[in-house]
Amino acid sequence: MKIQQLFVTLLCMGSIVGSYAVEVASPNGNIRVDFNIVDGRPTYEMSYKGKTVIRPSHLGLELIGSTDLMDKFEERNVTYSDFDETWQPVWGENKDIRNHYNEMLVELAQPAHGRFMNIRFRVYDDGIGFRYEFPVQQYLDYFPVKEEHSQFAMAGDHTAWWIAGDYDTQEYDYTESRLSEIRGLMETAISSNASQTLFSPTGVQTSLQMKTDDGLYINIHEAALVNYSCMHLNLDDKNMVFESWLTPDAQGVKAYVQTPDHTPWRTVMVSDDARDMLASDLILNLNEPCAYDDTSWIKPVKYVGVWWEMIGGGKQWSYTNDLPSVKLDRLDYTKTKCHGQHPANTDNVRRYIDFAAEHGFDQVLVEGWNIGWEDWFGKSKDYVFDFVTPYPDFDIEYLNEYAHSKGVRLMMHHETSASVRNYERHMEAAYNLMDKYGYNAVKSGYVGNMIPRGEHHYGQWLNNHYLYAVTEAAKHKIMVNAHEAVRPTGLCRTYPNLIGNESARGTEYESFAGNKPFHTTVLPFTRLQGGPMDYTPGIFEMDMKKINPNSSGHVNSTLARQLALYVTMYSPLQMAADYPEHYERFMDAFQFIKDVAVDWDESRYLEAEPGRYIVAARKAKGSDDWFVGCTANEDGHSSVLSLDFLDKDRKYEAVIYADAKDAHYRDNPQAYTITKKPVSSKSKLKLSAAPGGGYAISIKPVGK
């Protein structure tokens, strides 16, 4: 480990100060972090291969009702250590993950106030993490935070792929622009999903991906968000300095801290190769090891569902139109007629179970199975769902037995309508019901304004709730996939029954306004940094009018790209979201969805450029089969792929699902070709993706 401690005179933050700087470098020496006290303020900077990544930036917290933890600091002690360990995730992109870093713990004191605060830096070859730590002490015990002021001073007007800062939704299309253009583009950027809690014209969400003019890829996010509120970044666009901006609670308080405690890690990833951004395990590594002794019940899931019929097809979650909008416990569903547009009925669910069993899917999600959907959204009602009472046309006992008899499980759905206290009150009964019928996975959702009223989706209280739902589920051996919950920060390492999250704009928006064609070339650089996304790919019918005459939606992707998403959008939870009858029309292409794995021994990113294209290759868990996926933006993409990742001594057959020459995401999305050819580790494949297109390849060994 190369560690230096230097007396230096620095030209820092515009003033000359004599100070004692400390430094830590990454194991390969490419990344350096310097820490210093400048005019009493903790200050750090970061470089990569000698280039500035973060200019001198202050660190500190402003408190409510007591002296801030911002300045008048002195350094007490600095401790260095290193760490190198390889661990195995319960599921993941790779079977082995190396956690290799150098650490610098800076212990600080505010002598005038008798207080102590530490800042811990971990420096990896692909980025850094730092966090504030608050040891037990006499004059600092329990404190509300007015704001965290962690700065990230950029070295230029970088290109960024960003979504608007917002306390309640992440379901925005991305904008690609210079940092200096964010302010001017904000209004257009939010038009895809405006929320009332936009807090600043230059506020953005993390994970934020950037690229510098000299080819550095920089990503800012956070890791291990526990008992704290979620961080946004607010840009001072005169000086190109980002500063943390936490999500407030209903009182405007940004966080409540009680010693001993620490903040989540603030992360900055950097490389001169975009593929390293996608391959990085930094966020997972900064999380704690698995909290469970027995993880044998946690299994990746490939599923179909009674879902697109409502989202895309315009049918209903609700059972009836007859009932007035009254309290749930006053409704009597047995005395009313179904409106006939309720897909969560026994016959239809049985059809999905048969389809799942025939084609090897693990589970069938059923939304709209439970009473309450007649008036579920937009009224800020406390009590909407009880999570245990099925509609009269959904035979819960029979359908579970039928599914199990065919080797399939039903997947539970808990829409909370953001009435979180109500959900917590019913949670144990809801999980018990799942145990009774043999469900082992739940998709939950948090649509609408939060209850308790005034709380936000990404505040500390809610973040604690999402984790509570996951750890309570673990007691029942239940896996959780939460939609509309806070963006993931690698907690799936510690709690691997958190098998998915939405927390970004998913396929559902293709049926409303459509996603920008480059969307899936950005998400792996941003949203997926923190954990897998339940993106729900696999739409084969792009013209939404075909299933819903009232829809103006169009899925902005070719069919071949829909296949590729199973590889490029890493997740242990993958849905085939379209109608069974659409798959039956394209059985040869559907074969890829049937074949593709959901858990991996090894992953490689062959080509990548944010907003342009991503090509990933993955080796299936416990198998010699490889799967390759490419997703391209509206310009399309040409690749020459070397298959040198294949075993040198084996022969393989590749099945290539590609866009046809005249394919186009808008006009001709269903034009694809399927080609079979023998390949080996020496093969080079020339492939191209149409505008908004992609390709998918399955490669299986033959003979031997």
- Binding residues for Ca ion, rule: CB under 5 A, are 483
Distance CA 629, CA 614 (A): 8
Rounded to a whole number of angstroms, the minimum distance from the CB of residue 361 to Ca ion is 22
**Burial environment of residue 324 by CB neighbours within 10 A (0 to 12, 13 to 18, 19 or more):** exposed
In the complex, the smallest distance separating the C-beta of residue 686 from Ca ion, rounded to whole angstroms, is 38
Closest to Ca ion by CB, 490 or 506? 506
- Least separation, in Å, of the C-beta of 542 and Ca ion? 20
Q: What is the DSSP pairing of strand 241-246 with strand 151-153?
A: antiparallel
- Which residue lies nearer to Ca ion by CB, 151 or 444? 444
Contact status: 309 vs ligand NOJ (CB under 6 A): no
**Interface characters, 490-529, with ligand NOJ (x: CB under 6 A):** ------------x-----x---------------------
* Under rule CB under 6 A, residue 447 binds ligand NOJ: yes
Binding mask 311-340 for ligand NOJ (x = CB under 6 A): x-----------------------------
Q: How far is the CB of 171 from ligand NOJ (least distance, A)?
A: 8
Q: How far is the CB of 512 from ligand NOJ (least distance, A)?
A: 11
* Residues between 377 and 436 that touch ligand NOJ (CB under 6 A): 415
Residues 6+ apart with CB under 8 A from 102: 1, 3, 24, 25, 26, 27, 80, 81, 82, 83, 122, 123
Could you say which of ligand NOJ, Ca ion, none residue 367 binds, taking C-beta under 5 to 8 angstroms by partner kind? Answer: ligand NOJ
Q: Among residues 150, 152, 166, which one has the least CA distance to residue 240?
A: 152
Distance between CA 182 and CA 614 in Å, rounded? 25
Q: Which is nearer to Ca ion, 125 or 508 (CB)?
A: 508
Q: Which of 243, 508, 510, 541 is catalytic?
A: 508
Q: Which is nearer to Ca ion, 409 or 519 (CB)?
A: 519
Which C-beta is closer to ligand NOJ: that of 400 or that of 444?
444
* Residue closest to Ca ion when measured from CB atoms: 483
Binding track, positions 134-173, relative to ligand NOJ; x by CB under 6 A: ----------------------------------------
Handedness of CA 449, 451, 457, 459 (dihedral sign): positive
Q: At residue 667, what are phi and psi to the nearest 5 degrees? A: -100, -25
User: In the stretch 46-85, what mask flags binding to ligand NOJ with x, by CB under 6 A?
Assistant: ----------------------------------------
Q: Say which entry of Ca ion, ligand NOJ, none residue 93 contacts (CB below 5 to 8 A, set by partner kind).
A: none
Nearer to ligand NOJ, 362 or 508 (CB): 508
Q: Is 243 near ligand NOJ (CB under 6 A)?
A: no
DSSP letter (8 states) at residue 477:
T
CA 541 to chain centre: 26
Q: How far is the CB of 483 from ligand NOJ (least distance, A)?
A: 4
CA gap 159, 176 in Å, rounded: 7
Contact flag: residue 367 with ligand NOJ (CB under 6 A)? yes
627 binds, among Ca ion, ligand NOJ, none (CB under 5 to 8 A by kind): none
415 binds, among ligand NOJ, Ca ion, none (CB under 5 to 8 A by kind): ligand NOJ
Residue 261 in contact with ligand NOJ, rule: CB under 6 A: no
Give the torsion sign (CA, 677, 679, 684, 690).
positive
**Pick from 442, 438, 411: which is nearest to 426 by CA?**
442
Q: How far is CA 446 from CA 169, 404, 480, in A?
A: 10, 29, 13
* Cα 171 from chain centre: 11
State in angstroms the smallest separation of the CB of 128 from Ca ion. Answer: 32
Rounded Cα distance, 395 and 349, in Å: 10
Q: Cβ neighbours of residue 628 under 8 Å, at least 6 residues apart?
A: 567, 606, 615, 616, 617, 618, 641, 695, 696, 697, 699
Site pattern 533..552 for ligand NOJ (x: CB under 6 A): --------------------
Residue 226 binding: pick among Ca ion, ligand NOJ, none (C-beta 5-8 Å cut-off by kind): none
Whichever of 275 and 457 has its CB closer to Ca ion, that residue is 457
In one letter, which amino acid is 604? R
If one asks whether residue 578 binds ligand NOJ (CB under 6 A), the answer comes out as no
Q: Measured from the CB atom, is 519 or 618 closer to Ca ion?
A: 519
Gap between the Cα atoms of 346 and 452, Å rounded: 35
374 binds ligand NOJ (CB under 6 A): no
Give min distance, CB of 566 to ligand NOJ, in A: 18
User: How many Å apart are CA 660 and CA 670, to the nearest integer?
Assistant: 9
The greatest distance separating any two alpha carbons of the chain, rounded to the nearest whole angstrom, comes to 82
Closest of 105, 32, 45, 113 to residue 75, by C-alpha: 105
Cβ-based nearer residue to ligand NOJ, 135 or 314: 314
Gyration radius from the chain CA atoms: 26
Count of residues touching ligand NOJ (by CB under 6 A): 9
Shortest spacing between CB 483 and Ca ion, in angstroms: 5
Amino acid letter, 238: K
Q: Which is nearer to ligand NOJ, 311 or 408 (CB)?
A: 311
Phi, psi of 100 (to 5 degrees): -130, 115
Quick check: 483 binds ligand NOJ (CB under 6 A)? yes
CB 509 to Ca ion: min, Å? 8
**Which candidate, 455, 575, 557, places its Cα nearest to that of 514?**
557
User: CB–CB of 623/656 below 8 Å?
Assistant: no
C-alpha–C-alpha distance, residues 24 and 122, integer Å: 9
Active site residue 602: no
Which residues lie below 8 Å from residue 562, measured CB to CB, with a gap of 6+?
Answer: 537, 538, 539, 540, 555
368 CB burial (10 A radius; 0-12, 13-18, 19+): buried
| Shortest spacing between CB 311 and ligand NOJ, in angstroms | 6
CA distance 497 to 290: 10
Which residue type sits at 437? Y
546's CB contacts (< 8 A; 6+ apart) are none
Q: Which is nearer to Ca ion, 302 or 483 (CB)?
A: 483
DSSP state at residue 643: -
- Report the site for ligand NOJ in 620-659 (rule: CB under 6 A): none
**Cβ distance 473 to 429 under 8 Å?**
no
Burial group, residue 6, by CB count within 10 angstroms (0-12, 13-18, 19+)? exposed
Which residues participate in catalysis according to the annotation? 508
Q: Which residues bind ligand NOJ (CB under 6 A)?
A: 307, 311, 367, 415, 445, 447, 483, 502, 508
